[in-house]
Structure 1
């Protein structure tokens, strides 16, 4: 193995001094994204970067590799990595640093892996391409990392393709890919945001173990204070590209000095202590799912004998780990995956299994809001076109009628009417999700299926979206099927909860009843896996799981 890389004897790995990053366009200078941010990072130390969407967390993380997104430029400051200012390196030198000395672990492993290559081929690629190891050496290192990360059958795990493993396993495989070249610095960019709580525990434990055993320095970017409490030694709080405060993790979480940090901490505490929403079981069922089963072209049923109902004005949360069947159930309800057994009745009439066989009115009455608005909204269309499409499709309106209705919907979701000419790329993450809500409301539905609609948002923006959904429900009487892995969100918004495991419904009823003893064993596991904002929580949960085993 060829490894003649420099190492500091005093342990300092990264020093960022007075970092400034700006947007530049053909018309001239744009906004400042990062302004005068400084920090240091030592070997084996983890610095958590916390803040709302647009705070500059990911921008700073990428800049630590001297990388910026298109249109963004580092215009000031130093980025000193192992005594070398990375800004002084040429393009080839920077490329030899990225992925070798500094590795990046992204939020979505599924989007980061090539589906046509085996996991071995992708995990070993960096070390082989940069001449650090032969493929055989890299493969042995990969197996060692798979074992450290507690992946199943580590000796043959890498022979699989990305689609053949779970989301949590793929996230850990991406950590192995980042570590195979033995980097000095790891950058974790929201790596557990899209994972369910039970999987998140396993992945966090694996990440922490990896950092400790290899003594790697790490930046951990997240908007979840409870998650960063389990892994960070120090925390830096960011807002609008500026540092709000920085300090020891315990101090920041228990005794924050700045008003903004106090607000973040208070919001997290409120989410964990919120009272359950009471259920009202009066009235007829709007949606009735009766013994429904379905499969994806295999003999294995991904949904098996599910029965539940949603009444007008209900918010029914559907919870469970990755692969439990939550989103699949939603696809069956809207007709994207035809059911093979059972019946679904909506407003008293049976819904055809296939989307193409449903009437326009049946389509209109059930709408869906997706997790990632960046994928769900056409970047080339204006908000007038995006929101106006269902208005013209379902109600045969055109011209000024559509424009006036879109303006009404923008007011309803608390966005200015002037946004009607904007495109998704000109909006924040929270604003894009509001547009997705407006598009669903444009059809005047009776049921909206919300598929992880707040999971990619920071806590303050997520709270705004939840309040908006609740207000719209009170005003319009719409019912929600709310798919989520965040049990704090379930507490805030759902009057009923359906717990799913391996395609089956293991518990269903009012939220206070389902989440009160005696629990179904899986419900108890879910509740015990919700992170708490204290540094010893992860160790306690792992100890309890070992006792159960």
Structure 2
């Protein structure tokens, strides 16, 4: 069995502080390798070290061997696209915001695989059809849902035919059918090479099979065959990850303290159209103070668009929408974005963003530290910008920022899609408690029917 990638005592440091303890592994041809662990555990640092994408203030030690040769940083970077490719955790970081989706895939076939224009276009359309984006190739990334953009990014990245594919959280934000389709696509694309996948999704790790590594806080705690580890975990942390899947949660929907609580929002026969297509029609419901309402449906069905319409960010096409709580200030009707980078400026630190929020709204700074602790956010991230933290950390920071504004209505668009099961349960519990304690209505979008069943008073299917 050919070894395509071999790591010997690879570690990552910032200054003298070890962020990722030494790890040794081999990625064999045709044998998938999966790294499972909590958000911020160091999984993405390992992938960045392999590819040569670590931030300038981090350094790597140990040996990285590719195709039988120990390679320096510049040598590995020369393999990008044709022999090695990394699927980034955030699709927006790898897509051209001004280019149609089909053209982004076509370019890879044209300039990496050296296909003529017509064949490249045909292959690109075939790929988009395979991942459920048929009819959406003419759209720019900002015109796609988060899940659709993720599928486009994966399709473009794998079109070059690289033998070593590193996939960083490739299925986050996807419904079950799309998640399974992406796993199958990655397996097919890595058929002649091999696949290293970083995930916090236990189901994905089980589907991929092969070799599994479990990492906690930068340290390898368990390694072996995926089936053996997931069926018979030896480490308490691995058991905790498995037990934190939503299907194992107890019912946590809060009791609405006042059974006669007033409606905060009503929708009557809503219809919404986008891009000449009707997303939904005849949708009616009401939401009370302190109520948790779930929205479920496949990627691209209009879940995010519905939430935006309720916040008056999108016009409705027909029907009547009434926001009843007139005492609330505009900034108390809030949205947690599915892709948090789209809600932050990279030009300043996260700490500066918090300082601006405190100054603008007269917030008591003493509230920040307890909330950061509750959301498992280290103080150190406040010195970094939004591009220098993990996707999960940024999502939790977005929740921190929202909570500081005392929302009366919070549209949470896939708020746990970037979080591992343990942190996802903690964050979901916090949102549910917010609804109960502060009388805040929470509109919760998720692809996970089990999560909604355990947390919501009502579920709207689109």
TM-score by length of 2: 0.85
**For the structure 1 residues 470 and 228, does the alpha-carbon distance in structure 2 shift closer, same or farther, using more than 3 Å as the test?**
same
Q: 1:188 aligns with which of 157, 163, 167?
A: 167
Report if the CA contact (8 A) 2:52-2:77 is conserved. no
**For the structure 1 residues 459 and 137, does the alpha-carbon distance in structure 2 shift closer, same or farther, using more than 3 Å as the test?**
same
Q: 2:28 aligns with which of 42, 55, 62?
A: 42
Q: 1:292 aligns with which of 270, 286, 291?
A: 270
How far 1:205 sits from its partner (Å)?
2.3
How far 1:264 sits from its partner (Å)?
1.2
How far 1:182 sits from its partner (Å)?
3.2
Q: 1:240 aligns with which of 217, 228, 238?
A: 217
Match of 1:80 in 2: 65
**For the structure 1 residues 233 and 381, does the alpha-carbon distance in structure 2 shift closer, same or farther, using more than 3 Å as the test?**
closer
- Secondary structure in 1 aligned to 2:51? coil
Match of 1:220 in 2: 197
- Secondary structure in 2 aligned to 1:335? coil
CA RMSD of aligned residues (A): 3.6
Per-residue CA deviation, residues 21-56 of structure 1 (Å, 9 max, x unaligned), is 212xxxxx1532222100111111100011112222
Of 250-259 and 423-432, deviating more is: 423-432
Match of 1:389 in 2: 357
How far 1:14 sits from its partner (Å)?
1.3
1:325 aligns to 2:302 (yes or no)? yes
Match of 1:422 in 2: 382
Query: Considering only CA atoms, is the larger Rg found in Structure 1 or Structure 2?
Result: 1
Match of 1:21 in 2: 12
**For the structure 1 residues 493 and 144, does the alpha-carbon distance in structure 2 shift closer, same or farther, using more than 3 Å as the test?**
closer
Report if the CA contact (8 A) 2:102-2:125 is conserved. no
Q: Using the alignment, how far apart are the partners of 1:199 and 1:185 within structure 2?
A: 23
Equivalences for 1:486-501 in 2 at 5 Å?
A: 486-500=448-462
Match of 2:189 in 1: 210
How many residues are matched? Answer: 455
Per-residue CA deviation, residues 125-144 of structure 1 (Å, 9 max, x unaligned), is 456656x6354597289469
Q: 1:459 aligns with which of 421, 426, 439?
A: 421
Q: Using the alignment, how far apart are the partners of 1:159 and 1:450 within structure 2?
A: 28
- Secondary structure in 2 aligned to 1:287? strand
How far 1:103 sits from its partner (Å)?
1.6
Q: Using the alignment, how far apart are the partners of 2:211 and 2:224 within structure 1?
A: 6
Structure 1: gaps spanning 5 or more residues: 1-9, 24-28, 350-359, 501-549
Report if the CA contact (8 A) 1:102-1:183 is conserved. yes
Report if the CA contact (8 A) 1:277-1:495 is conserved. no
Structure 2: gaps spanning 5 or more residues: none
**For the structure 1 residues 252 and 472, does the alpha-carbon distance in structure 2 shift closer, same or farther, using more than 3 Å as the test?**
same
Q: Using the alignment, how far apart are the partners of 1:430 and 1:475 within structure 2?
A: 25
Match of 1:265 in 2: 242
How far 1:220 sits from its partner (Å)?
0.8
Match of 1:371 in 2: 338
1:114 aligns to 2:96 (yes or no)? yes
How far 1:496 sits from its partner (Å)?
1.1
**For the structure 1 residues 317 and 166, does the alpha-carbon distance in structure 2 shift closer, same or farther, using more than 3 Å as the test?**
closer
Q: Using the alignment, how far apart are the partners of 1:464 and 1:445 within structure 2?
A: 19
TM-score by length of 1: 0.72
Report if the CA contact (8 A) 1:388-1:442 is conserved. no
Per-residue CA deviation, residues 350-398 of structure 1 (Å, 9 max, x unaligned), is xxxxxxxxxx8452442222234444244525657537637744xxx4x
Match of 1:146 in 2: 127
Report if the CA contact (8 A) 2:106-2:121 is conserved. no
Per-residue CA deviation, residues 487-537 of structure 1 (Å, 9 max, x unaligned), is 23213321211111xxxxxxxxxxxxxxxxxxxxxxxxxxxxxxxxxxxxx
How far 1:275 sits from its partner (Å)?
4.5
Q: Using the alignment, how far apart are the partners of 2:276 and 2:121 within structure 1?
A: 36
Report if the CA contact (8 A) 1:288-1:310 is conserved. yes
Q: Using the alignment, how far apart are the partners of 1:247 and 1:230 within structure 2?
A: 15
Report if the CA contact (8 A) 1:35-1:241 is conserved. yes
Per-residue CA deviation, residues 164-200 of structure 1 (Å, 9 max, x unaligned), is 8776666555445444443221111111102122322
How far 1:423 sits from its partner (Å)?
4.6
Report if the CA contact (8 A) 1:34-1:56 is conserved. yes
- Higher normalized contact order (CA 8 Å, seq sep 6+, divided by chain length): 2
